Structure 1
Amino acid sequence: MEWLIAAKPVVFLHAFPFSPEMWSLQVAALEGRYSVFAPAMPGLGGREPGPASLDAWAAELDERLEEVGIDEAVFVGLSMGGYLAFRLWDLFPDRFAGLVLADTRAEADDEAGLARRAELAAAVREKGAGVLLESFYPSVLGETTRTSQDEERRAAADWVREMILEADPEGIARALEAMAGRPDSRPLLPEIEVPTLVIVGEEDTLTPPEQAREMAAAIPEAELLIIGGAGHMANIENPGAFNTALLGFVEKVYGG
């Protein structure tokens, strides 16, 4: 799913193993005020699998931005989308008017993390996307969402589950391998000299608030927002708070 108008572009980079559909609530909030481009990454969102390399994805995205006429944009990356945003910044910093890093981290995987990704990639290739429901699905939702009987919260949890099951197994495996191969982005943080907003769900256990605080502290003049009642998928679990912060930030970058 991709949306594009002409001026004041905002580029959304989706999380693993989702598609651009995960940004639907944010697109609705920005529609009519800003241009929005939400590309699918290789192997996800209906695309054929590509190389298991975030650098290759960044280079391809740079070409796609050129094709659609985007020179500079506010980039919004959540989780894997944040990892990709770091690779874009390293390779194509002139593309950035601003940056939103949501529920992500700058550190590379440690040995245990690399082993988990390799094991999960092998399991998904053998058994399919349903393997992710065993451990990954509960971990991306905060406790409030997991335990709530609220109709909207239950719908959000079901939507996240459905998007996981719709993902292509080979695309999932290659995305896992691409994330495993990413470098440590912490050396880049002091070089990020565009307006930056760091967002994290208060109940995020995958990329917890403490990591977000450290990341924001290392980026010159970055703002930090911790969203209550949300885990790793803060944009879906608490879209009201997420969208308010996003709109305010984009307005500040583009001057209203």
Structure 2
Amino acid sequence: MRARRAQDVPIGPPPLADPATLPHLDPHQAPWPGGEVTSGGVTLHVRETPGPQDTPAVYVHGLSGSATNWTDLAALLSTRAAGTAVDLPGFGHSRPLASRDYSPAGHADALLCFLAGRGRPVHLLGNSFGGAVALAVAARRPELVRTLTLVSPAMPDLRPHPHRVSDPKLLLALLPLIGKRARAELAAMDPRTRAEQVVRLCFGDPTLVPEHRMAEAAAEYAARARLAWAQEAAERTGKAMVAGWLRGESLWSVAARVQAPTLVVWGERDRLVAPRLARRTAAALRRSRLLVLPGVGHVAQIEAPQTVARAVAGMWDAVGAGTWEEPG
């Protein structure tokens, strides 16, 4: 099926679940318990949320993120699905694979094997780089993905984005050759400064981040700094992603092969992946809805968890009822 053109096809908003059907969000919710799990020959560190086991949810973080990026959203969706938030190989507390393959395809292979080993379809959710990985898994193994949620997925984009200059060091660090100095400077930062810098770049309004969440992020950066493989994983993953864009590898053709009902979520203040790609991304997918959130940046599941949860739950409910139809 030919990818839909964004300018030609009406893309409807998702149905939103009644907020009364979602649990109350504890603003001080602690990260879910974690541990290593081996499935399909792949060992990942995961954080698991209890809930109904019919169709579980699997959450995939972005670059320099971890399973804790999904703490609040997994809590809000826990009455509808048990959750497994994974640390991709080399991230969070997951050890790298023996192959040390940090390419997007390598991460997708690892996640695909992990899901296949569990032997049943899941609701798959991914943010940023994790969205690109989830997209590839859904295209390659449609029987494993019941629904797909993409939060600001890292779609290829080499055009200038003016807001990216607000913190160029983080962006320069992704470039394969010229980013060496920026990567060294990032590695030398203390954990609190690094957390504050990431928040400034990723959040639409950084002032809304509560102090306890900032402290959690700083503690996580400090813990990762003690892992021998952490810097290698972040650098090589970022460089491999950008190198793929430079070589012309395209997720747009991958998106056209996805069969699962898909929710695309984007923040209007996203400084990392341009909001102009939101409509094009939704149009490239066969069975999509698009939710664009004003005032929100790159990590909508953290910045606006209640709204994202209503949209995700609304999709799950509609798919279960057979009412999720292709717009237009």
TM range (shorter): 0.7 to 0.9
**Other-structure match for 2:275:** 209
How many residues align? The count is: 250
Is 2:271 aligned against 1:226?
Answer: no
Distance change in 2, residues 1:230/1:214 (3 Å):
same
Could you list the per-position Cα deviations for residues 115-170 of structure 1 after superposition, in whole angstroms to 9, with x for gaps in the alignment?
Answer: 8432446643676273893965422121x2x2x3x5x5455555555545544222
Is 2:59 aligned against 1:12?
Answer: yes
Is 2:307 aligned against 1:245?
Answer: no
- In the alignment, which of 55, 74, 96 is matched to residue 105 of structure 2? 55
Where structure 1 has 5 or more consecutive residues not aligned to the other structure, the ranges are: none
**Other-structure match for 2:6:** none
Contact residue 60 and residue 126 of structure 2 kept, 8 A? yes
Distance change in 2, residues 1:100/1:237 (3 Å):
same
How far did 1:17 drift?
0.5
When structure 1 is superposed on structure 2, of 127-136 and 53-62 the one drifting more is 127-136
Is 2:241 aligned against 1:179?
Answer: yes
Q: Specify the SS of the correspondent of 1:128.
A: helix
How far did 1:60 drift?
1.9
Q: Could you state the TM-score of these two structures normalised by the residue count of structure 1?
A: 0.82
**Other-structure match for 1:23:** 70
How far did 1:175 drift?
2.0
How far did 1:193 drift?
2.7
**Other-structure match for 1:130:** 189
Contact residue 71 and residue 95 of structure 1 kept, 8 A? yes
**Other-structure match for 2:128:** 79
Q: Could you state the TM-score of these two structures normalised by the residue count of structure 2?
A: 0.66
Distance change in 2, residues 1:110/1:179 (3 Å):
farther
How far did 1:39 drift?
1.5
Report the Cα distance in structure 2 between the residues aligned to 1:171 and 1:95, rounded to whole angstroms.
26
How far did 1:41 drift?
0.5
**Other-structure match for 1:2:** 47
Return the letter of the residue paired with 1:93. P
CA RMSD, aligned part only? 3.1
Runs of 4+ in 1 over 4 A off after TM superposition: 108-116, 119-123, 134-137, 152-166
Is 2:240 aligned against 1:190?
Answer: no
Contact residue 19 and residue 163 of structure 1 kept, 8 A? no
Report the Cα distance in structure 2 between the residues aligned to 1:229 and 1:96, rounded to whole angstroms.
30
Return the letter of the residue paired with 2:240. A
Return the letter of the residue paired with 2:127. L
Report the Cα distance in structure 2 between the residues aligned to 1:14 and 1:141, rounded to whole angstroms.
15
Report the Cα distance in structure 2 between the residues aligned to 1:172 and 1:73, rounded to whole angstroms.
27
Report the Cα distance in structure 2 between the residues aligned to 1:155 and 1:123, rounded to whole angstroms.
28
Return the letter of the residue paired with 1:210. R
How far did 1:239 drift?
1.4
> What is the percentage of aligned positions where both structures have the same residue?
25
Which structure has the larger Rg over C-alpha atoms?
2
Residues 155-174 of structure 1 aligned to structure 2 (within 5 Å): 155-156=212-213, 159-160=216-217, 162-164=219-221, 166-167=223-224, 168-174=230-236
Report the Cα distance in structure 2 between the residues aligned to 1:164 and 1:242, rounded to whole angstroms.
26
Distance change in 2, residues 1:251/1:199 (3 Å):
same
Distance change in 2, residues 1:63/1:247 (3 Å):
same
Report the Cα distance in structure 2 between the residues aligned to 1:210 and 1:14, rounded to whole angstroms.
22
**Other-structure match for 2:116:** 66
